[in-house]
Amino acid sequence: MIKVVHDDGSLMQTYKVCFDGKKVNTGIDSGDMGDINLWGYECPPTLSQRQTALNDDLKLVQEFETIVLSCECRELSSLTDSPEDIKENIVTNAQKVITTLSHRLKELRPIKTKKVISLEKLKKMCINDTTKNKYSFAISAVKTYIYRLESCFARTLNLIDNLGRIVAILHNVSSLYCSGRVCDLGSQSNYQCLSGINKPNITKMELKSADTSKIHQRTDTWFKARSFARVTGSTCFDALGLGGLKKQKQHFEYVFKSVPKPSPSPEVASFMKHGSDNEINTIATLVSKVMPLHD
């Protein structure tokens, strides 16, 4: 890097080198957050790429703001009577902004997780008054950072929700959009809960002519149908060998030799339980947020 600085005269200035690669402090004069800048030699995405992406996102938001401000009407009820080209322009750009904000939230969430872990580590180090005084500033700083992240999450989610409601209104499906965090699936006209096939003693021959997509998950009929299947949606990854030869062999022996599969690790079991518990939330989000947004 010294050679890079030497060869490019425009880079000749004072630098602070952090060998552990951490962003230690803010810039002295500019107030920047001390982002790692190795002039394209850092791990991707580079600082330049991230700055370009940020500028593109800001430009998108500014363009949408210009479109909204150029509208003569300010009431949503009047906006629905606007020409189709104006409504389509608002909808298209609102969807782009929602996508951009969602991606930004996705990038921020792991940062909060790391900060929470750091906070717990700091708390465990406070075993007496001396260490409490030593780490009090660090703990306070991390707590403030977490608070700011949570505040950012709340504001961004609220903005996404409001934009989604506007798009649904312009799509003439406002009755399908559910603002906020609670959705009553019973009142969603675009949701129908399938009663499914309820036949616990269904035979393999009967399954060949049955529409298995309508079998309710985790019912006796569902487990019976899975017992006949050599490959299911849950096992196709291992059956194809994508999880490695060992897991493919385990699947083969389970299907053809009835050798029990090893129990999942506690971590995997936790992930599976989380997925099962939140299936209903996924469905609610799909029918009350996503579908009206892209109707």
SS3 at position 211: coil
* Mean pLDDT, residues 6-18: 67
Between the ranges 30-34, 76-80, 134-138, where is the mean pLDDT highest? 134-138
Q: Which of 117, 121, 122 lies closest to 137 in space, CA to CA?
A: 122
Average pLDDT value for the chain: 86
pLDDT surpasses 80 at 246? yes
pLDDT (tens digit per residue) in 93-141: 999 999 999 999 999 999 999 999 999 999 999 999 999 999 999 999 9
C-alpha 295/C-alpha 291 separation (Å) is 6
Positive or negative torsion for Cα 228, 229, 234, 237: positive
Cα-to-chain-centroid distance, residue 162: 19
Reply yes or no on whether the pLDDT at 24 is more than 50. no
Residue-wise pLDDT for 150-191, tens only, equals 999 999 999 999 999 999 999 999 999 999 999 999 999 999
- How many residues are given for the chain? 295
For residue 6, pLDDT beyond 80: no
**Percentage of residues in the chain having pLDDT higher than 70:** 86
Q: Which residue has the tokens 């991390």?
A: 142
Distance CA 33, CA 26 (A): 4
Q: Where are the domains of the chain?
A: 1-43, 62-172, 204-293
Q: How many CB atoms lie within 10 A of CB 289?
A: 21
Q: What would you measure as the largest C-alpha separation in the chain, in angstroms?
A: 80
Percent of the chain whose predicted confidence (pLDDT) is above 90: 55
**By C-alpha distance, which of 176, 177, 112, 169 is closest to 146?**
112
